[in-house]
Amino acid sequence: MSEFNHTLKIGWASRDVSTDKPVTIPGQFHIRVSQGVIDPVTVTALAIDDGADSVIFLSADIVVIRNGLLDKIRARVSEREADIPVIKILMNATHTHAGPSTYGDAANWRSGSSTVTAEEVPHEGVEIASGDDYQAFFVDQAADAVIEAWQTRAPGGVAFGYGYAVVAHSRRVVYFDDVSLRPGAVKDSRAGVNGHARMYGNTNDPMFSHYEAGADPFINLLYTFDAAGTLTGAIVNVPCPSQNSEMESRLSASFWHEARTAIRARHGAIHILPQCAAGGDLSPRLLHYKEAEKRRFALKYGDDNPLGVAELERRRDIGERIAAAFDEVLAWARKDIRSDLPLRHAVETVQLSKRLITADEYAYAKEELAKLEAQSFTQEGEPLARLRTNSILAASRNRLRRIIVRYETQAAEPKLPMELHVVRLGDIAFASNRFELYMDFQHRIQARSPFLQTFIVQLAGVPGNGGGTYLATERGAWGKGYSASMYCNEVSPQGGQELVEETLRLLGTLADASAE
């Protein structure tokens, strides 16, 4: 490696935030209570500065960032290390559906969560650890990682590139007919308002037409090196939520565990910071070729799954694919390690047009909420079964309450504010959003970006209680179904295009500023 000018300083840190305590696991419509740990759930921090500006990437193996979590982490860092520019912390969730809840105990259904807290549901006979205690532990560990990464910055360099690792597939199935009109069909449910599309719909159906989206084959990679040219870590940006094993009652990072393990088997104990690029309409599983997939996994892995981990074969397959792309890109990207690069980090609050609730939807929500509020929590069955039933009822009530509040406030507040981060590091850029973002929006940004590569970082933390929620495209809104209905979309497709334009505006500003 050529001798560095040592403009860039780079620091890494990671913390294991797993717990053996019975904490709740969000990501479904019912409360799950953790019963141990399959593999480590981690937070990872990467601090980079060039003496003029900085960025602190923070990734967490959790489903989403809500209920003031980013505010709490920034406050804790500031309390302990006042010199760290906490506004420059860009935090993202990997969207594992087997990560611990960081929501705390207090009910906060306005935040957009479909998972209720233990305080909202009777749970006699089921031990549930304090959500506030776990949140405090998580905040402490995340703050520790940020501070360590910042304090251990040392001269180093970066290299970047892209490769191919098809991890995600479209999870929205489109039919020739409107499935809500089929005999016995449910038009409106907690899974969304049905139409021509279904999340995880059956493809072995005579009316199956196509997948709404394709697959994004790209994996974006940023490698870091110390002053001697030794690989120290990497950002691995994949357009896929890590939601294999999503019904587990044991904590897990999902396929990111297998990816880290495979990469470290070849490169030692380097840091891996996972980012989920736009994947709101994608998932890490096939919806056809299922029998062929079973044969593939049987021949490739046999029945080696002593812990009974759901979808372990898919996780292994994905981890190997990511590791192979990691090596392929590293082999040529490390020929161009740079230490003297412009780093610019802009943080702005942008205003995005909301998905407005109609008068008919408002009337429907009020009517349905009255029915659900007339129902009582069950006292029948085993404790865990009761908890499941009662938490589904509570979550269903909360979804309708949010619709009512949105309608009653949207005239005065037609826009949703969102903290947007855009980072330039030489010829590449990072751009954040708080959503489960449909893939098309990512491509609109990347196709018009002035940079060689643009890493989209979805499910980024924002100030306040909100976070997550899907952002569907125009064709998604037409198809309806889960992820593209009034329950799931706080921002409209128009607001999604506004996000595209605001992101491109900031990207252009940073490109122009660095050229001066």
Which residues constitute the domain of residue 143? 9-169+213-353+415-515
Percent of the chain with pLDDT over 70: 97
Burial, 343: exposed, middle or buried (Cβ in 10 Å; 0-12, 13-18, 19+)? buried
- pLDDT score of 185: 84
- Interval 390-409 mean pLDDT: 94
Say which amino acid occupies 103: Y
Say whether both 342 and 483 belong to one domain. Answer: yes
Say whether both 347 and 376 belong to one domain. Answer: no
- pLDDT score of 5: 46
Q: Is residue 177 situated within a structural domain?
A: no
Q: 273: helix, coil or strand?
A: strand
Q: Is residue 193 situated within a structural domain?
A: no
- pLDDT score of 214: 87
- pLDDT score of 4: 44
Say whether both 347 and 274 belong to one domain. Answer: yes
Say whether both 401 and 421 belong to one domain. Answer: no
Q: Is residue 178 situated within a structural domain?
A: no
Q: Which pLDDT tens digit goes with each residue over 78-108?
A: 999 999 999 999 999 999 999 999 999 987 7
Instruction: Flag whether pLDDT at 462 surpasses 70.
Output: yes
Say whether both 159 and 129 belong to one domain. Answer: yes
Domain boundary among 373, 394, 409: 409
Q: What is the pTM of this model?
A: 0.96
Angle at CA 149, nearest 5°, toward 144 and 154?
A: 150
Say whether both 482 and 366 belong to one domain. Answer: no
Q: Which pLDDT tens digit goes with each residue over 160-171?
A: 999 999 999 999
Q: Which pLDDT tens digit goes with each residue over 184-220?
A: 887 777 667 889 999 999 999 999 999 999 889 999 9
Domain boundary among 409, 444, 478: 409
Q: 43: helix, coil or strand?
A: strand
Please, which pLDDT band fits residue 114 given cuts at 50, 70 and 90?
Answer: low
Q: Is residue 405 situated within a structural domain?
A: yes
Contact 47, 146 (CB under 8 A): yes
The total of structural domains in the chain comes to: 2
From residue 456, alpha-carbon distances to 114, 221, 237, 272, 350 in Å are 25, 12, 8, 17, 16
What count of residues does the chain have? 516
DSSP state of 306: T
